[in-house]
Amino acid sequence: MPRMGTGRCALLLSGTLLLSGLLAGPLTTSAYGATGAGVTGYLVSQPAISIAPSVITKAAASVAQTTATLNATVNPNGGEVSKCEFEYGETISYGKTAPCVPSPGAGEAAVAVSAPISGLTANTTYHFRISATNATGTSKGADETLKTLPNAPTVITKAATSVTQTTATLTATVNPNGGEVSKCEFEYGETNSYGKTVSCTTLPGSGTSPVEVSAPITGLTANSTYHFRISATNAGGTSKGADETFKTLPNAPTVITKAATSVTQTTAALNATVNPNGGEATKCEFEYGETISYGKTASCASLPGSGTSAVEVSAAISALSANTTYHFRISATNAGGTSKGADETFKTLPNAPTVISGPASSTAKAPAILAVLFFHAQNPAAESLKLMSTSLTASASGAVSVSVSCPAGQGYCRGTMVLRTLKAVAVSGQRGKPAILTLARSSFDLVGGRKGILRLRLSASARTLLAKAHVLRASATVVTQAPAGTAQSQTIVNLRRR
């Protein structure tokens, strides 16, 4: 009997055909006989039959923003695979192909194949499947998908805000580029090596537009430069922004009010020291006035700069009232704030008496009130003061003039005249309870036989009271000194504005 090879066969004997295990397909018969036996037989055979490849689409690997590797298995089922490729695209219509590597051959076992693809779009879903062909036909695998990675976030470091001596708020924008941002933080420090981090107050999500992010930081050093940048991470990677800087504010100036100098009746020099604490002093002035409400200012003669040591400053002031107490303090400003010194005081000098030469009997024109001193020859230790009028008149500037005569035969006549309110009054801008207010004070010094003008100047508070009352009742107290002794007299007067 001949060999039947890889096909199926059956033996036909004595006119009967036995068929067993045949596949669908063409049958081939052949006759043979045995010599001398008289037996004739028939061989029925069917050639070997192949089927299309068996294919399985596998998950993609090495997926990045623009590349991926497609995977599958192909079993040739004994038929040489003439074509093996992956179909892929953004829909199940695919549209593109990539050849398999390696070729799966003609065996009867599954072979792993793959294909690297490129030119993909970030953050995009792709469909793909395997396709393999042998002589029998083509098989296509099931559809699989992959999603490319998003681009790393797009970040921009913005300027810091709300900067003080020890705190600041860092700001930036982050575009997630469609990938969920898993980490968002600011790196900061006194150099561009940073060294510290602070998380963004909120994560910017997974959108495709820039999102504002920020982070407050504390524990900074005054008057110091800091570097910072934004850092954000999604599945596509980490992006770091450009370096930005800010400088913390300096501490406000350290100031000390010093004693006034060069004090006269109407002028004085105010003094202080100012330490700018490293911040440029943009304003330096003295506040002054007759109360702790001050009311007036005088700029320092020169600004104290931006150093870190105390600098002496001063200001000359004028148009003061004689024999008057003034309050003052230093005030200095830099970017860190304004500091005001402690309150200090000085008192202007009294006016010297004005003497008019001439005999005591001179008929010189008298001012609003005429005070005449008589010294009794019979009793030199006693003296009397005679007021020619009890009405005093003050000019708009608060000047009050009084004529004083010293009798002939006396060595000198010296004294002080003080005007005070009759009742306790409350002065605007002054603290404390109402009190008797000194309106004006001045002194005189005449030689015997001479006449002089005693000039008084109302204080600012007195001028304010007079402006409101129009007529102010006051006590005029005169303390006199003469070779014979000391005496005092007091008279109630009406003070009016001229």
* CA quadruple 101, 106, 107, 110: dihedral sign: positive
Please say if the pLDDT value at position 370 is more than 50: no
Between 315-329, 407-421, 433-447, the lowest mean confidence (pLDDT) is in 407-421
Please say if the pLDDT value at position 44 is more than 90: no
Q: How confident is the model at residue 353 (pLDDT cuts 50, 70, 90)?
A: low
Q: How confident is the model at residue 380 (pLDDT cuts 50, 70, 90)?
A: very low
* CA quadruple 133, 134, 138, 142: dihedral sign: negative
More confident residue, 273 or 3: 273
In the predicted model, what is the mean pLDDT of residues 254-282?
A: 97
In the predicted model, what is the mean pLDDT of residues 247-269?
A: 97
Q: How confident is the model at residue 9 (pLDDT cuts 50, 70, 90)?
A: very low
In this predicted structure, what is the pLDDT of residue 2? 40
More confident residue, 463 or 429: 463
Please say if the pLDDT value at position 210 is more than 70: yes
In the predicted model, what is the mean pLDDT of residues 371-395?
A: 58
In the predicted model, what is the mean pLDDT of residues 169-190?
A: 98
In this predicted structure, what is the pLDDT of residue 432? 67
In this predicted structure, what is the pLDDT of residue 351? 83
In the predicted model, what is the mean pLDDT of residues 418-437?
A: 79
Kindly write down the DSSP assignment for every residue of 403-425, as one continuous string. EEE--TT-SEEEEEEEEEESS-B
Q: How confident is the model at residue 206 (pLDDT cuts 50, 70, 90)?
A: very high
Cα–Cα dist 355/353, whole Å: 6
Mean pLDDT of the chain: 84
In this predicted structure, what is the pLDDT of residue 384? 52
Between 182-196, 321-335, 361-375, the lowest mean confidence (pLDDT) is in 361-375
Please say if the pLDDT value at position 381 is more than 50: no
Q: Pairing state of beta strands 369-375 and 399-405?
A: parallel
In this predicted structure, what is the pLDDT of residue 389? 66
Residue 387: CB partners within 8 Å, gap ≥ 6? 369, 370, 371, 476, 491, 493
In this predicted structure, what is the pLDDT of residue 482? 61
pLDDT digits 0-9 by tens, 115-161: 999 999 999 999 999 999 999 999 999 999 999 999 999 999 999 99
In this predicted structure, what is the pLDDT of residue 220? 98
Between 198-202, 292-296, 447-451, the lowest mean confidence (pLDDT) is in 447-451
The pTM of this model reads 0.60
Cα–Cα dist 408/361, whole Å: 9
Of 271, 486, 317, 494, residue with least CA distance to 400: 494
What tokens appear for 48 in the block? 């070997």
In this predicted structure, what is the pLDDT of residue 129? 98
Q: CATH for 254-347?
A: 2.60.40.10
In this predicted structure, what is the pLDDT of residue 415? 78
Asked whether the domain spanning 354-497 has the same topology as the one spanning 54-147, the reply is: yes
Please say if the pLDDT value at position 270 is more than 90: yes
Tokens 């000390």 -> residue:
256
Local structure of 468: helix, strand or coil: helix
Which CATH superfamily, name and number, covers 154-247?
A: Immunoglobulins (2.60.40.10)
Which CATH superfamily, name and number, covers 354-497?
A: Immunoglobulins (2.60.40.10)
Q: How confident is the model at residue 3 (pLDDT cuts 50, 70, 90)?
A: very low
In the predicted model, what is the mean pLDDT of residues 365-375?
A: 46
In the predicted model, what is the mean pLDDT of residues 15-19?
A: 44
Please say if the pLDDT value at position 367 is more than 60: no
In this predicted structure, what is the pLDDT of residue 426? 77
In this predicted structure, what is the pLDDT of residue 361? 45
Please say if the pLDDT value at position 386 is more than 70: no
pLDDT digits 0-9 by tens, 80-128: 999 999 999 999 999 999 999 999 999 999 999 999 999 999 999 999 9
In this predicted structure, what is the pLDDT of residue 194? 98
In this predicted structure, what is the pLDDT of residue 25? 44
Evaluate whether 328 touches 320 at the Cβ level (below 8 Å). Answer: no
The domain locations on the chain are: 8-46, 54-147, 154-247, 254-347, 354-497
Which CATH superfamily, name and number, covers 54-147?
A: Immunoglobulins (2.60.40.10)
Residue 404 CB neighbour total at 10 angstroms: 26
List Cα–Cα distances, 283 to 48, 181, 339, 341, 497, in angstroms: 106, 48, 11, 14, 39
Between 266-275, 322-331, 449-458, the lowest mean confidence (pLDDT) is in 449-458
Please say if the pLDDT value at position 170 is more than 90: yes
What tokens appear for 375 in the block? 């010294």
Q: How confident is the model at residue 47 (pLDDT cuts 50, 70, 90)?
A: low
Q: How confident is the model at residue 433 (pLDDT cuts 50, 70, 90)?
A: confident
Beta bridge partners of 490: 477
In this predicted structure, what is the pLDDT of residue 20? 43
Q: What percent of the chain has pLDDT over 90?
A: 60
